[in-house]
Chain A
Amino acid sequence: MSITLDSKTPTGPLAQQWDTHRFNLKLVNPANKRKFKVIVVGTGLAGGSASATLAELGYDVHTFCFQDSPRRAHSIAAQGGINAAKNYQNDGDSVYRLFYDTIKGGDYRARESNVYRLAQVSTSIIDQCVAQGVPFAREYGGNLSNRSFGGAQVSRTFYARGQTGQQLLLGAYSALSRQIGLGTVKMHNRSEMLDLVMVNGHARGIVTRDLVSGKIETFAADAVVLATGGYGNVFFLSTNAIGSNVTATWRAHKRGALFANPCYTQIHPTCIPVSGDHQSKLTLMSESLRNDGRVWVPLEKADVGKDPRQIPEAKRDYYLERIYPAFGNLVPRDIASRAAKRMCDEGRGVGPGGLGVYLDFSDAIKRVGKHVISERYGNLFEMYQRITDESPYEVPMRIYPAVHYAMGGLWVDYNLMSNLPGLHVIGEANFSDHGANRLGASALMQGLADGYFILPYTIGNYLATSGQKKVTGDEPEFKAAVADVQKRVASLLAVKGKRSPSSFHRELGKLMWDNCGMARNAKGLQEALDRIPSLREEFWGNLNVLGDGDSYNVALEKAGRVADFMEFAELLCRDALTREESCGGHFREEYQSETGEAERNDEKFTYVAAWNYTGDVSKPELIKEPLIFEEVHPSTRSYK
């Protein structure tokens, strides 16, 4: 039986849709809210803000995170800033312009209605965070400071030094802490969701493993919210935290939730290049550096090994400024990343393995002085020096693209609910707002929009109308899910082979990066699709996890996550193979112009690819949600 998707997109003029929709949503009586239990998994910007807000409204909230505290989620590492259509700088910004930029930046692969709403609520986010005591950067007059960021021609990005994600997350964490203190949120730290429980076709609970005691537990509720972030670590090396994983969303997928657009992965252009085989993660250098740094490679291959300071101006190729004169060094991430790859493919890359380009601050230092550059980027320069042992004040930085963000995720409708009634998905874990490419400073905006201002309204509609009986956790569906999880944990421990979970993860990641990374083609993707099942087979035949399931076991945790990546990787490659066009973060070598620019195929691929699990991970069913553009007409993205 095939599924028909209803995006619940409101009708009527775009600017009024959210208002009309909110009016039409059913409300839960204030006195009844405490009778509804809501599970929130994840405490990043989306999960933290949603937990706090739902509790403030009166719901009975149970929140889970695998870290030791809800303050640690990887939203904390976002550096650059958060967008909002405040037009404080009087430079022509508006809700419509932020909407337009986001739709265009996403290469016309996002829903207009969702994106417009995101732009609308962006302004409230800033007000909310200021009121919480988030110390945004200020001008001398006391007003909030803005900068232009990542492919925008207006200054709409709010920031707190190079630690915006940290400050926004700590703001959400402070609101969450207040509710925990008031007893309205029950917080479960060091607790990992390992399955979703469906009762009568509705999402009614989760199965978790306490990472300290190893205890498998169930939690029953009236609705479940997943805010579990992105799947970038399927590539092993990425800018994600070590613990970031696909398990919660993948488990939900295997219970029937559709996974949308997994091939839309963002490769961030400004990361510190790989230094050796020991590398465990890649470190991002904020995109804001491109405001003052100039990207270049030697004009001639012969100069590649030279000290960059000895290469004269005439022998340098400032290729972004040359190819994209209008946007220069500030072109969107996908464009900048592919340009860097082309330079390295031409043999003009610098540093170990020729996998790097220069990001040079010497002109900016001459123009505004070292102290100004230090004020703007001091902490980033120090971080770079700690990792590479080189000072960016003296020598140009070396940067290279790295996996950063997942635009794809679980499919959700306009209410942020998946195709499974009761299962809501917010933040990076859903697929909704960024299309095929996310603009800089938009992830923080989306996470907080979903958590503070969208989900708290839409979930009420579900709770008010679902008409489901209360569950206790003793139903057979819960018992069956627990048995599944126990069996799975036991089978990971039972393999008793020779290879560590990390060695499999590393091998999978390399295969994904080589065959499904910055540039993809049918042959490479087919090869990956052939190799992943055999790697998975080896995993289940030769995995080595020591210790037991009833205690703190880091190898067991890791093995469970790698097992899910092994399955998910195949879906990602299949989606990439099926999408025979280049758009945003998805670049197929077969579909490019003579100058190497991405070529979309709007006639055939203006749809969301939502994949249904059929019981066989190698044979998913593709369900399409057509995208309709009434407001903005898809055109070729040009930043020249």
Chain B
Amino acid sequence: MNLTLKIWRQKDKATPGKFETYDAKDISPDMSFLEMLDVVSERAQANGQEPCAFDHDCREGICGMCSLVINGVPHGPEAATTTCQLHMRKFKDGDNIVIEPWRASAFPVLRDLVVDRSAFDRIQQKGGFVSINTGGTPDGNAIPISKKEADLAMDAASCIGCGACVAACKNASAMLFVGAKVSQYMHLPQGQAERSRRVLAMVEQHDAEGFGACSNLQECEAVCPKEISVRVIAEMNRDYLRAALVGTDA
């Protein structure tokens, strides 16, 4: 198939970027989207153009490193799919494809399609953990956890931290990301001791990083490649309210 790509090129954080047009000829429908970009980059390189930078690593939909807003949709048109797992058979011969980085002030562009997502790390560092050291832990079966609660925790824990939720949100809110972490620990006995402190600290950092507030449009859930439910935002809001009222010792 033959395609026309409009790709965002930007030298660095300080330099303004712009779209450049590339012809992508003879693309196999069995290629993944990133393999298509590999091919286009190789050809551009042979013509003396620097290859376009984009984040990627595992290419099996789990590391959360790949991104890209494809025709206006984070991770492209297929539901529950990361860009690296999107295949060209989902496009038609002759299509125009617009490829942009995540757009959010909390995710500054570093180069071309690569953004800085370290804000997510800093949110996690504020409370996305159980404060225990290595060693001296009780036997794994000492505390039974119902299958239902374990499954709810696991649903939330599947978040890959890619940032598509932020890219999809008109407020660039990261509530789905924060909610997923808060919800995982909320459903586990190990998370109870720090439950209030965690939610307050993580939300505070979320706001400090410049992410916006949730306006309940649920765009985040629609684009999440791991189908994290907005249930986690509701749970986080409830816990936040509770913690704000009763304080961090509760």
* Residues of chain A at the chain B interface (Cβ within 8 Å): 49, 52-53, 56, 67-74, 76-77, 86, 88, 124, 126-133, 135-144, 158, 160-161, 163, 165-167, 170, 173-175, 177-178, 180-181, 187, 189, 212, 241-243, 275-276, 278-281, 283-284, 382-383, 386-387, 389, 452-453, 456, 498, 500, 502-503, 544, 546-547, 551-555
Contact = CB atoms under 8 A, between A and B. Distances in A.
Given A280-B35, A546-B49, A551 B133 contact: no
B62 A76 contact: yes
9 contacts: A53-B133, A139-B147, A143-B141, A278-B39, A280-B35, A546-B48, A551-B12, A552-B111, A554-B51
A142 B157 CA distance: 18
Contacts of B130: 131-133, 174
B129 A178 contact: yes
Interface of B: 11-12, 28, 30-32, 34-36, 38-39, 42, 45-46, 48-51, 53, 55-65, 78, 80-81, 85-87, 89, 110-111, 114, 116-118, 120-121, 124-126, 128-135, 137-141, 143-147, 150, 153-154, 157-158, 160-161, 184-185, 188, 190-191
A77 B64 CA distance: 11
A69 B30 CA distance: 30
A569 B60 CA distance: 26
B46 to A, nearest CB: 7
A228 to B, nearest CB: 14
Given A138-B145, A158-B140, A387-B85, 18 more contacts: A67-B63, A67-B65, A133-B129, A142-B145, A143-B144, A174-B124, A212-B111, A242-B57, A278-B38, A280-B32, A284-B60, A452-B135, A544-B45, A546-B45, A551-B111, A552-B53, A552-B110, A555-B45
B192 to A, nearest CB: 10
A140 B147 contact: yes
Given A131-B137, A177-B124, A280 B38 contact: yes
Contacts of A177: 121, 124-125, 128-129
A141 B85 CA distance: 37
B144 A142 contact: yes
Nearest to B52: A554
Contact of B62 (A67, A143, A163): A163
A188 to B, nearest CB: 11
Contact of B42 (A72, A174, A502): A502
Contact of B146 (A53, A68, A138, A544): A138
A135 B35 contact: no
B126 A181 contact: yes
Contacts of A187: 121
A127 B190 contact: no
A394 B128 CA distance: 41
Nearest to B36: A278
B63 A386 contact: no
Contacts of B42: 500, 502-503
Contact of A69 (B120, B140, B157): B120
Given A175-B134, A551-B11, A166 B50 contact: no
A124 B135 contact: yes
A158 B154 CA distance: 14
A66 B42 CA distance: 22
Most chain B CB atoms below 10 A, which of A138, A276, A279: A138
B93 to A, nearest CB: 17
Most chain A CB atoms below 10 A, which of B11, B81, B137: B137
Nearest to B205: A181
Contacts of B132: 131-132
Contacts of A276: 28, 30-31
Nearest to B60: A283
Contact of B118 (A69, A181, A553): A69
Given A133-B190, A551-B11, A383 B134 contact: no
Given A67-B65, A69-B121, A74 B129 contact: no
Contact of B131 (A68, A178, A281): A178
Most chain A CB atoms below 10 A, which of B60, B116, B139: B60
A117 to B, nearest CB: 16
Contacts of A161: 154, 158
A505 B134 CA distance: 40
A383 B191 contact: no
Contacts of B62: 76-77, 163, 165-166
A74 B63 contact: yes
B134 A452 contact: yes
Most chain A CB atoms below 10 A, which of B65, B128, B129: B129
A403 B56 CA distance: 20
Nearest to B64: A72
B129 A68 contact: no
Nearest to B189: A133
Contacts of B184: 133, 135
A502 B38 contact: yes
B87 A387 contact: yes
A140 B134 CA distance: 28
B51 A178 contact: no
B150 A242 contact: no
Most chain A CB atoms below 10 A, which of B35, B62, B65: B62
A143 B141 CA distance: 6
B138 to A, nearest CB: 7
A500 B43 CA distance: 10
Nearest to B155: A135
Contacts of B111: 212, 551-552
B188 A133 contact: yes
A68 B65 contact: yes
Contact of B153 (A77, A135, A158, A178): A135
Contact of B60 (A68, A72, A77): A77
Most chain B CB atoms below 10 A, which of A73, A76, A136: A76
A136 B140 CA distance: 10
B53 A68 contact: no
B118 A241 contact: no
B150 A138 contact: yes
A209 to B, nearest CB: 15
B161 A69 contact: yes
B99 to A, nearest CB: 16
Contacts of A389: 87, 89
B39 A144 contact: no
Nearest to B89: A389
B107 to A, nearest CB: 11
Contacts of B120: 69
Contacts of B126: 181
B161 to A, nearest CB: 6
A76 B145 contact: no
A525 to B, nearest CB: 30
Contacts of B191: 133
B134 A453 contact: yes
10 smallest beta-carbon distances between A and B, as pairs? A142-B144, A181-B125, A131-B137, A174-B129, A552-B111, A135-B153, A138-B150, A135-B154, A178-B129, A130-B140
